[in-house]
Structure 1
């Protein structure tokens, strides 16, 4: 698989190294997608995420991560998987308030967003449990702690 990740930091905040972001995405895709793949990752501020969350989900305020799977016509053979938008200030605030390692929380949001691009979801309880288990498997393989440790399931990223 040839992976191309375009990363834009429009947040004005410090963020993980681009190679870390690419590595997290590559780990998610490994064994789950064999075709060439292009993904865009945009790191945004509160204002931009609030607009996106309102415009696409009809929810007020910012969220941590949103995913936008590509919606290309079937006859258009392009490797674009989609876009992930992560709100840097929200991720930083969540990590602090939840007493999580900042790098681990960034990895979780990136993994979560990438799984959404692959069609995973957490609307139904069984879907949520499956997605949480997969996130935990991926993150622990990267030597990060379980992101749901000490939480009652159902506390998901909003993508």
Structure 2
């Protein structure tokens, strides 16, 4: 097993120092000296426009690694994405402005491209309040539902329509991000 604190890897970001190394192994993180064939990670901008819902079992320092795990599981580690986590009031405003619908929704995705930044694929807006409420309604662990919504939104940004392939990829990402199965 790789010692992720070895000097050859540089210093770990503070949010990763206390994570279980088995978590990284489950995502297919290469061993020391192993050749890596994927592109460097693209920029991931995460904004929280609200205090995270107390029922959402992630601190600010745990949020980025979790989102990165979903992105990596989908094979999208090179994609640049803006993720905003908002409350229901802000989500309701976005939902009405962009979809002409009243009330909050769980997640909105806005595919985008920029010739100056070819890895940029768009923006995701997610309501922490709706996420927690739906997880309870569906009888799902909150992190599982969070991973499912993130994967769904990432796949929309990548151009996937609803259907069997999207569903299958979403479930693979959920399993990988929550430690329930192999990474892609």
Deviation at 1:109, TM superposition (A): 0.8
Structure 2 residue ranges without an equivalent (≥5): 1-38
Aligned length: 133
Partner of 2:101: 59
Task: Tell me the residue number matched to 2:4.
Answer: none
Give CA deviations for 1:29-52 in whole Å, capped at 9, x if unaligned.
x1xx58x43111100011111111
How is 1:10-159 mapped onto 2 (pairs within 5 angstroms)?
10-14=49-53, 15=56, 16=58, 17=62, 18-28=64-74, 30=75, 36-72=78-114, 76-78=115-117, 79-122=119-162, 128-142=163-177, 143-144=179-180
Spell out, residue by residue over 1:73-122, the C-alpha distance to the aligned partner (whole angstroms, 9 max, x if none): xxx23131111110000000001111100111111111111001100122
Q: Which has the larger radius of gyration?
A: 2
TM-score (norm 1): 0.75
Change (3 A) 1:58 1:100: same
Q: Where do 4+ consecutive residues of structure 1 move more than 6 Å?
A: none
Contact 2:107 2:127 in 1 (8 A): yes
Q: Conserved in 1, the CA contact under 8 Å of 2:113 and 2:120?
A: no
Aligned partners of 1:3 and 1:9: how far apart in 2? Answer: 19
CA distance in 1, matches of 2:49, 2:157: 21
Q: Which runs of 5+ in 1 are unaligned?
A: 123-127, 146-159
Q: Secondary structure at the match of 1:40?
A: strand
Give me the TM-score of the superposition, normalised by structure 2. 0.66
Which of the two has greater strand per residue? 1
Note the C-alpha offset of 1:144.
4.3
Alignment partners' CA distance in 1, 2:50 and 2:131: 11
CA-based RMSD:
1.9
Partner of residue 156, structure 1? none
Moved more, 79-88 or 9-18: 9-18
Structure 1 contact 91–106 (Cα < 8 Å) conserved:
yes
Partner in structure 1 of residue 47 of structure 2: 8
Partner of 1:148: none
